[in-house]
Structure 1
Amino acid sequence: MDVLRWLFEAKLTIGGGFILWREVLGNVFGLVSAFGGMRRRVWAWPVGIVGNVLLFTVFLGAVFGSPNPVNLLGQAGRQVMFIVVSIYGWYSWRQSRGDAGTAVVPRWASNLTRVRLVIGLVGGTAILTPAFRALGSYEPVWADAWIFVGSLLATLGMARGWVEFWLIWVAVDIVGVPLLISAGYWASATMYIIYGGFTLTGFFVWWRYRNQAAAPRVETVFPDPRVES
């Protein structure tokens, strides 16, 4: 109980403001999970779930008695979404794990899938914005909805092994940083900036692996004379 009390009450005071340790720890777990995802390791999913649980309590500040009373419903809701989708991704990667410990072979999404992802991101944001506004989410509400929908599509893309999922995270980070700064979630905003560079690195890592995996093997025309027939 003492540990839980500390976890909910502990904060780091900086100047006239503060940062919740729950927010710091939740984002650290998220960054470790992203690193595991880049390495295509199954443990990335359960590590990410721990971070999602912590951040859920952070973004519903008024509900959990947080010193920061600002509620970001899209941010809180996406933690629940992360947990649900992560369970699917965890199962999917465990089923496809190879001998080397990697769990998925990166692949490009089809052109039709790419179009659906763009439509889903824009359309989903338009649909959720009035719903989040009615529930009292922080302005600009469209940004909160964008982050929620983008996070859903990126997590599904990661579970399916699409290389493009990294670029969706970049789009989420671009909108997420100014929103989190304006709402006073400095730790999460800082981590989003770090995520931005990390997701670009992850994209090129998966891109390079995909190109290597797709490269045709060169077979020898003439047999090795040292091999006995």
Structure 2
Amino acid sequence: MSLAEILDPLQQPLFTLLDTAVSWTEVLGFGSGALCVWLVARQHIANWPIGIANNVFFILLFTQAGLYADAGLQIVFITLAAYGWWTWTHGGGPGTDRLPVRRTSRTEWIWLGAAGAIGTVAITVLLDRATDSTVPFWDASTTALSLMATYGQCRKRLESWWLWIAADVIYIPLYAHKGLYLTSLLYAGFLTLCVIGLRNWSRGLAPANSRPAAVSS
């Protein structure tokens, strides 16, 4: 049995929403995504394996929808999830199994901002020239914001929630525009969960005068 034959049932319509067929892939992406963000907001380690499953569903979904940067982004997310999983359990330094929540430093903001701007321009040009994407800039900008936010999530930086909120504000109308109404609804839920996560992480913020522990190589 080929890979296409294995994946075909996931791509079959399950029900119709606003005259648009919703596949098993989108439903499973909806459920695993919502659970993942809820677990992140609670700083629960299980968010990482659930998130990896969510990434796999979204690779299939976004490829079908022509959102190629978002599809490729999921592969990066899987790699970052492995890093984040390790960091959350080992990045707090000797004698601790928990990484504390901290603020993003000025240096981190500088290189994150530069990487985000360069990434947005580069991906926009790539999508415009090499694919049939109808939304190259918006696909690229959400990709850059999501990568910046994921870095912050891996290192438990409080401001990662603001980056996710910015990305979700774009994702909601973008997915609706592409006919992914259930996914658009999911990201509206993500937006709410991000606000909850921001509040929860703010409560657990480490003292400003305590220094982040170095991550072992």
Shorter-normalised TM-score: what interval? 0.7 to 0.9
Distance 2:176 2:133 in 1: 12
- Within the candidate set 187, 192, 208, 2:182 is matched to 187
Which has the higher relative contact order, 1 or 2, with Cα contacts under 8 A spaced 6 or more apart? 2
Gaps of 5+ in 2: 210-217
Distance change (3 Å), C-alpha of 1:159 and 1:93: same
2:15 is aligned to 12
1:117 to 112, 116, 126: 112
Give the Cα separation in 2 of the matches to 1:197 and 1:47. 19
Query: How many pairs are equivalent?
Result: 204
Amino acid at match of 1:53: V
Structure number with greater Rg is: 1
Which of 158, 167, 191 is residue 172 of structure 1 equivalent to? 167
Aligned-partner SS, 1:57: helix
* Correspondence 1:127 to 2:122: yes
- Give yes or no for contact 1:45–1:86 (8 Å, CA) kept in 2: yes
Alpha-carbon offset, residue 15 of structure 1? 4.9
CA contact (8 A) 1:27 1:55 kept: no
CA contact (8 A) 1:97 1:103 kept: yes
Residues 40, 102 of structure 1: 8 Å contact kept? no
Distance 1:119 1:18, change over 3 A: same
Gapped regions of structure 1 (runs ≥ 5): 62-69, 217-229
Contact 1:41 1:102 (C-alpha < 8 Å) held by counterparts: no
* Among 193, 200, 207, the residue aligned to 1:205: 200
Q: Distance in 2 between matches of 1:15 and 1:51?
A: 24
RMSD: 2.4
Identical positions, percent: 28
Q: TM-score, normalised by structure 2?
A: 0.85
Contact 1:74 1:137 (8 Å CA) reproduced: no
Tell me: CA distance 1:188–1:115, structure 2 relative to 1, closer, same or farther (3 Å). same
Amino acid at match of 1:42: I
Q: Sort the Cα spacing of 1:109 and 1:4 in 2 relative to 1 into closer, same or farther, 3 A.
A: same
> What code does the residue aligned with 2:61 have?
V
